[in-house]
A and B are shown apart, each in its own frame.
Chain A
């Protein structure tokens, strides 16, 4: 229970960051998806079940700020969390490039799924332009953030281990 409360608090904090970042930096063109980054990293480290729960909660929180409570982010984030969990336990923690790569691909899948489910984008969107101008830069930004976050997580883990021995 304590673990769930902590993780939900982290998700709320990340949502607040996501909502406020454009207020702090008004010229920012792309808003990084902190919730997605958190969910994918959790999926890679802890597996599908854990990530899916927080994927659904993160999606619900994001949907609250887009009018209807249950919107598209809830199913999309849950599905992406499950897909990201396929990477879980298949690489060495020392490999710092896998989590950013996972987030990069998860962002592409996440945004494409969202566009395909969004009625007014489905038939009118120029997917090539959107992928080139929005989705790939956003995926790169999310991947870059993930690299530093995972690096900190990895170094913190090592420091913690060396402290114990």
Chain B
């Protein structure tokens, strides 16, 4: 069956992973053409690091970057006090396969391209 592989990664699994381990796993999966859905998302710092790593791996032939979409960070009392923000549901895919059609505070609509 032809199609696009989706990896849905649970919050529990993400919490057990170190930041670099998480980012490496995401980028390796996306470079293989997979779409990764993270239940608990990334922190803003992790997202910036992911962009940096993506830029280093763009080869201008097969991999031109990523498409990332997530809901905005939620700010609670402790995150305001300590500045630590937790990410929310995040979808990441190869830029040539995943295209965001619409993004609102509580709704993300995306298109996944199958095949070349």
A-B interaction: no
Q: List A residues at the B interface (Cβ < 8 Å).
A: none
Q: List B residues at the A interface (Cβ < 8 Å).
A: none
